[in-house]
Amino acid sequence: MTVSVAITRLPHGADLPLPAYQSDGAAGLDLMAALSAPVDLPAGARCLIPTGIAIALPLGYEAQIRPRSGLAFKFGISIVNAPGTIDADYRGEVSVLLVNLGDQPFRISHGDRIAQMVVAPVTRIAWDAVPSLDETERGSGGYGSTGTGANG
């Protein structure tokens, strides 16, 4: 299924290619840093990195901004609010809130692939206020309540 999404290159990202899938089976499009100068991200720090694009998602869709697995594995680079959400009515620049969970500074340069974006349908709900909920085997068991056995 293909969804048409309007995209605008902003001046500081005009020389960058549009986000693209890196393989036929990829779910996410790679986002690139649109920087006028490299950014050094110290260990334990976070920073907002611009991508040089703005998008107009159709109603009923969202864009999820996710970490790139290679950056996470090799350098400890992730996204603070992963996944970040871009709503269908947002028209500003897509930016990525990176965090360095590694133990070394990490340099981000113009054109570096820094995150991936997955466009997905959104399901809207209607609340049904009821006096009580149906019973289940788990009940109100919270964090770790289903993993209490020998292998849990």
Which of the pair, 152 or 125, is modelled with greater confidence? 125
- Residue 148 scores a pLDDT above 80: no
- Residue 151 scores a pLDDT above 60: no
Amino acid (1-letter code) at residue 103? D
Q: What is the pLDDT of residues 4-61, one digit of tens each?
A: 999 999 999 999 999 999 999 999 999 999 999 999 999 999 999 999 999 999 999 9
What is the torsional sign of CA 17, 108, 80, 144?
A: positive
Residue 20 lies in a domain: no
Residue 47 lies in a domain: yes
Residue 98 lies in a domain: yes
Residue 101 lies in a domain: yes
Residue 139 lies in a domain: no
Distance CA 54, CA 112 (A): 18
What mean pLDDT comes out for the span 79-88?
95
Confidence at residue 25, expressed as pLDDT on a 0 to 100 scale: 95
Is there a contact between 78 and 34 (Cβ–Cβ < 8 Å)?
no
Q: What is the pLDDT of residues 88-123, one digit of tens each?
A: 999 999 999 999 999 999 999 999 999 999 999 999
Global pTM?
0.86
How many helices (DSSP H) and strands (DSSP E) are in the chain? 1, 11
Confidence at residue 141, expressed as pLDDT on a 0 to 100 scale: 79
Residue 109's domain comprises 6-12+35-121
CATH of the domain at 99: 2.70.40.10
Instruction: Please give the tally of structural domains in the chain.
Output: 1
Distance CA 22, CA 31 (A): 11
